[in-house]
């Protein structure tokens, strides 16, 4: 098994750490996604792996090869690493046909002409562009150009495929389709892939594991289900699944499986606490919109709220319920009349965290 290992990788620009002591291991055949808001350090991490940028410190190894070592000043150039890279901008040569663009990857690696023909044919078939081999990039749609970029990155059978927001120039429908074929190709070829995106749906649907990043730090690492169902940080809960965050509460009591929070205004909420919390300390509560119920449930917390106007979304309504001044977004099959009312939230759907110290440093 060849693992890519990043140990304490840091990239400093002046006084800013674009990435700060990042530790990530990627297993053979794994599809790993770096997910986070713009500016959180995803592209910097990918560029450090590709060799397109040099970290300020740390170590990157791939199997028994050291790609970068800040201590001994080792840094292999990108061509010696031999990874396939696909960017958001397709970066195709406009004066070369589709097949020449793909072939160039093999020419640069001095592969024989007959072998090149065979592999270019295979790669174009893989991405469904055999019929477009003789066209120029300007004669293709955005989605087709992105397929050429992928064919070019996989044609030389890279040990690692690096993808930086490869689908973000496509419109919503094409992006949905592209997610599926891209994932199928990665699986079919057994490639190890590292994928950068700020799109939670892309990350959840394609990844074996997700690394949630913020402000140059890794916030949480896990399978899509772990990240979605068991966030260990309020940022994971709010960025993936858009949880409502309620601040201003204090931990009123701590029990074996959770805690009770006293909210501003005097109401209380019981819930699960993924991290240690202590009585009397400040609390940040996370609740996903779809977990807010409008019918009475004996096992749930009941909160008195004031409902705002509802917005129609086609298959459901979105509405705000105000807890004092704090709005909680909820989703409902039918709109609730504006004004005073109640909501119910099951205890297991209430996540209680300590305050988010890094929240100011959001990017
Ligand atoms: P992401 O890919 O998550 O959007 P980046 O890795 O591009 O984020 O950037 C991380 C941080 O590093 C940002 O704050 C960005 O402004 C900073 N940064 C990136 N490249 C440079 C650069 N060449 N010079 C100065 N700051 C940079």
pLDDT tens, position by position, 48-82: 999 999 999 999 999 999 999 999 989 999 989 98
| pLDDT at 242 (0 to 100) | 87
Joined tokens for residue 85: 């890279």
pLDDT digits (tens, 9 = 90+) for 100-137: 999 998 998 888 988 999 999 999 998 889 999 999 99
Question: Per-residue DSSP letters for 116-153?
Answer: HHHHHHHHHHHTT-GGGTTS-GGGS-HHHHHHHHHHHH
Q: How far is the CA of 41 from the centre of ligand 1 (A)?
A: 6
Q: Which of 183, 172, 195, 163 lies closest to 91 in space, CA to CA?
A: 163
pLDDT digits (tens, 9 = 90+) for 136-149: 999 999 889 988 99
Mean pLDDT of 294-303: 90
Q: How far is the CA of 253 from the centre of ligand 1 (A)?
A: 42
| pLDDT at 208 (0 to 100) | 97
| pLDDT at 362 (0 to 100) | 44
Joined tokens for residue 58: 């740390």
What's the CA gap between 317 and 28, in Å, rounded? 43
Protein residue whose Cα sits closest to atom 7 of ligand 1? 43
Between CA 246 and CA 361, with CA 331 as vertex, the angle to 5 degrees is: 35
Q: Which of 266, 264, 257 lies closest to 352 in space, CA to CA?
A: 257
| pLDDT at 30 (0 to 100) | 96
CA 63 from centroid of its chain's CA atoms:
25
Q: To the nearest whole percent, how much of the chain has pLDDT over 90?
A: 75
Protein residue whose Cα sits closest to atom 15 of ligand 1? 39
Atom of ligand 1 nearest to the CA of 40: 3
The answer on pLDDT for 360 being more than 70 is no
Domains and CATH numbers, the chain: 4-234 (3.40.50.300), 242-353 (2.40.50.140)
Protein residue whose Cα sits closest to atom 16 of ligand 1? 39
Global confidence as pTM: 0.91
The answer on pLDDT for 363 being more than 50 is no
The answer on pLDDT for 198 being more than 80 is yes
The answer on pLDDT for 23 being more than 50 is yes
The answer on pLDDT for 35 being more than 50 is yes
Atom of ligand 1 nearest to the CA of 37: 3
Protein residue whose Cα sits closest to atom 17 of ligand 1? 18
Q: How far is the CA of 5 from the centre of ligand 1 (A)?
A: 22
* Pocket-forming residues, ligand 1, beta carbon under 6 Å: 13, 16, 18, 36, 38-44, 363
Q: What are phi and psi of 297, to 5 degrees?
A: -140, 120
Mean pLDDT of 179-189: 89
Mean pLDDT of 258-278: 94
């Amino acid at each position: 098994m060849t693992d890519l290992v990043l140990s304490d990788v840091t990239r400093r620009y002046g006084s800013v750490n674009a990435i700060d002591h990042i530790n990530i291991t990627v297993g053979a055949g794994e599809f790993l996604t770096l997910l986070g808001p713009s500016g959180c350090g995803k592209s910097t991490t990918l560029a450090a792996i590709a060799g397109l940028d040099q970290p300020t410190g740390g170590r990157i190894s791939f199997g028994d090869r050291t790609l970068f070592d800040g201590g001994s000043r080792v840094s292999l150039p990108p061509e010696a690493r031999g990874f396939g890279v696909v960017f958001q901008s397709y970066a195709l040569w406009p004066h070369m046909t589709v097949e020449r663009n793909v072939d160039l990857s093999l020419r640069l690696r001095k592969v024989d002409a007959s072998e090149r023909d065979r592999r270019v044919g295979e790669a174009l078939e893989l991405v469904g562009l055999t019929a477009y081999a003789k066209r120029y990039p300007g004669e293709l749609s955005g989605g087709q150009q992105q397929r050429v970029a992928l064919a070019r990155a996989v044609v030389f059978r890279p040990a690692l495929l690096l993808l930086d927001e490869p689908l973000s120039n496509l419109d919503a429908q094409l992006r949905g389709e592209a997610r599926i074929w891209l994932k199928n190709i990665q699986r079919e070829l057994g490639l190890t892939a590292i994928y950068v995106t700020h799109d939670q749906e892309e990350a959840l649907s394609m990844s074996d594991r997700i690394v949630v990043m913020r402000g140059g730090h890794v916030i949480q690492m896990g399978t899509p289900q772990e990240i979605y169902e068991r966030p260990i940080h309020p940022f994971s809960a709010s960025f993936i699944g858009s949880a409502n965050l309620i601040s201003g509460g204090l931990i009123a009591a701590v029990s074996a499986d959770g805690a009770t929070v006293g909210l501003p205004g005097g109401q209380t909420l019981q819930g699960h606490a993924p991290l240690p919390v202590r009585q009397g300390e400040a609390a940040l509560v996370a609740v996903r919109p779809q977990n807010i119920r409008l019918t009475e449930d004996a096992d749930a917390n009941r909160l008195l709220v004031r409902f705002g106007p509802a917005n129609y979304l086609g298959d459901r309504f979105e509405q705000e319920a105000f807890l004092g001044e704090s709005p909680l977004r909820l989703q409902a099959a039918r709109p609730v009349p504006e004004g005073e009312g109640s909501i119910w939230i099951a205890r297991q759907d209430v996540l209680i965290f300590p305050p988010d110290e890094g929240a100011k440093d959001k990017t």
